[in-house]
Amino acid sequence: MLRQNQSHAITMSQEQIACLLANAFFCTFPHRNTTQPGSEYSNFPTINFSSLLSNVSPRTVQKLKAIFYYFNTVTEEATKPKGLVTFERICLSPSEFPNWSKQKENMTNLHVYLNGFIEKEGQGMLQVDFASKMIGGGVLNQGLVQEEIRFIQCPELIVARLFTEKLGDNECLKITGAQVYSNTTGYSDSFQCNSPHTDSTQRDEWKRRYCQIVAIDAIKFDDPRQQYSEKNIKRELLKAYVGFKGDPQIPTDYTPAIATGNWGCGAFKGDPMLKALIQMMAAAVAQRDLAYFTFGNKKQAEDLKRTYKLLKSHKVTVGKLYNLLLDYCKHQHHHHHVKSVSDYISENMGVHSSQL
Ligand SMILES: *[C@@H]1O[C@H](CO)[C@@H](O)[C@H](O)[C@H]1NC(C)=O
Ligand SMILES: *[C@@H]1O[C@H](CO)[C@@H](O)[C@H](O)[C@H]1NC(C)=O
Ligand SMILES: *[C@@H]1O[C@H](CO)[C@@H](O)[C@H](O)[C@H]1NC(C)=O
Ligand SMILES: *[C@@H]1O[C@H](CO)[C@@H](O)[C@H](O)[C@H]1NC(C)=O
Ligand SMILES: *[C@@H]1O[C@H](CO)[C@@H](O)[C@H](O)[C@H]1NC(C)=O
Ligand SMILES: CC(=O)N[C@H]1CO[C@H](CO)[C@@H](O)[C@@H]1O
């Protein structure tokens, strides 16, 4: 079990995963029959497939199609995958938390992509899963946004629900070696599973596909104004940082860039610009470059490029940007007609650069 506050990894063969998922499909895991508060596994996601099988809807039909493509591929002698997959829970202790207002790092490189997908154009990079605390979110239910789609394309990810306890604020889950089994298009009600997919991604020396995904869960804001507070900004920074932090054994020159986008900005109501800045700061402290996908949103892509250029040309460090964001939170609390975070920063950057 990957329990809270224990950094630990599990590596399994793809065949073992298929066996566990076959059991999940038939709902054979004992003790995993209730999510009642206080019950034995209340702090874990559900794993048996009963909710998927019993709620017939266009969404679950598309999901099951992908699940069947997966089982076909893993049970056919000719296509049976013969590699491994690693699931690693990474936890930071308070002594490893950055002190954001004091961080002197400059912004790393940022490349904004108007089109493209994290899982496709982000190949070879560390790919961000906009996760739920309970890994996989609504994958075994009606959910069909970024995380759930990824888990449906790569059903091996679903097995993480068997052993990954709810993520704490200082933790992430990294998955190395997952394979894509289905070709899909669309999301939510437009989601369609089109055909089986043959994944020809190379394998590493552990026979894992060169594919690394990191699950980080953003805060779900009931009221979007809640995000403009020091406590919540710090929480999101820490979460992004634990996800982005490289392996200390591997030199930064060999550490791939991060492929991400509007993390926690849909149903979770995050402000896309604030979330982009938070991820830029975490990436800077982790010394990694960012590829940011705006999924066709042209205005956002331009705003982001402009803000990034400004930060670079003013040599704004992580600590300086952090202090600007805290000032912005105060401004938010004192004014009725508030500026956007990017407008506030461009107007106040000069003030801060002369002060610091
Ligand atoms: C995990 O560690 C963090 C940081 O030390 C702490 O705040 C949190 O309470 C711990 N959680 C559990 C469940 O022990
Ligand atoms: C759940 O399963 C356990 C072990 O199989 C059993 O003891 C328990 O009574 C079951 N609980 C419910 C609510 O079905
Ligand atoms: C972080 O830095 C600030 C400013 O110097 C200081 O007041 C604070 O105690 C530091 N926090 C930690 C956790 O070290
Ligand atoms: C940030 O960039 C400035 C010059 O633009 C340089 O002097 C400084 O050393 C850099 N800081 C770090 C932590 O690399
Ligand atoms: C996925 O399916 C779509 C629609 O059927 C098709 O246009 C596309 O070429 C397919 N992609 C792959 C990688 O098979
Ligand atoms: C057959 C079985 O164990 N079904 C359970 C699957 O999980 C859900 C949610 O935990 C339970 O409600 C089912 O009883």
Separation of alpha carbons 13 and 24, rounded Å: 17
What does the angle CA 113 – CA 186 – CA 292 come to, to the nearest 5 degrees? 20
Closest ligand 3 atom, residue 102 Cα: 2
Contacts of 93 (CB under 8 A, 6+ apart): 170
How far is C-alpha 106 from the geometric centre of its chain's CA atoms? 23
SS3 161: helix
Atom 13 of ligand 4: nearest residue by CA position: 105
| Ligand 2 atom 14, closest CA | 33
Cβ atoms of residues 124 and 209 within 8 Å = no
Structure tokens at 77: 């002698």
What does pTM read for this prediction? 0.94
List pLDDT tens digits, range 99-135.
Answer: 999 999 999 999 999 999 999 999 999 999 999 999 9
Parallel/antiparallel/unpaired status of strands 8-13 and 84-91: antiparallel
**Which ligand is closest to the CA of 7, given by its number?**
1
CATH architecture of 8-355: 3-Layer(aba) Sandwich (3.40)
Q: Which of 32-46, 179-193, 336-350 has the lowest mean pLDDT?
A: 336-350
Please state the φ and ψ torsions of residue 192, each to the nearest 5 degrees.
-140, 140
Q: What is the pLDDT of residue 351?
A: 61
Sorted by sequence, the CB contacts under 8 Å of residue 133 that are 6+ apart come out as 166, 167, 217
User: Which residue shows structure tokens 């994290």?
Assistant: 118
| Dist. CA 238 → ligand 1 center (Å) | 13
How far apart, in whole angstroms, are the C-alpha atoms of residue 174 and residue 243? 8
What are the tokens at 304?
Answer: 């982001």
Mark whether 147 is an active-site residue: yes
pLDDT tens for residues 19-69?
999 999 999 999 999 989 999 999 999 999 999 999 999 999 999 999 999
What φ, ψ does residue 261 adopt, rounded to 5°?
A: -175, -145
Rg (CA), the chain: 21
pLDDT at 233: 98
Q: Is the confidence at residue 249, as pLDDT, over 90?
A: no
Which atom from ligand 6 is nearest to the alpha carbon of 27?
Answer: 1
Q: Which ligand is nearest to the CA of 161?
A: 6
At residue 356, the pLDDT reads 41
CB-based contact 142:210 (threshold 8 Å): no
Residue-by-residue DSSP string for 305-339: HHHHHHHHHTT-BHHHHHHHHHHHHHHHHH-SSPP
Catalytic position from the list 88, 129, 165, 303: 129
User: How far does residue 158's CA lie from ligand 2's centre (Å)?
Assistant: 22
Query: For this structure, is 148 an active site residue?
Result: yes
Out of 147, 156, 165, 303, the active site residue is 147
The rounded Å distance from CA 170 to ligand 1 centre is 8
If you measure from the C-alpha of residue 183 to the centroid of ligand 5, how many angstroms do you get, rounded to a whole number? 6
Over range 263-290, report the average pLDDT. 97
Looking at the CA of 117, name the nearest ligand. 5
Residue 188 near residue 60, CB atoms below 8 Å: no
The Cβ of residue 165 has, within 10 Å, a number of other Cβ atoms equal to: 20
**What's the rounded Cα separation, in Å, for the pair 67 and 73?**
10
95 lines ligand 1 (CB under 6 A): no
Examine the pLDDT at 336 and tell me if it is beyond 80.
no
**Cα–Cα dist 145/266, whole Å:** 9
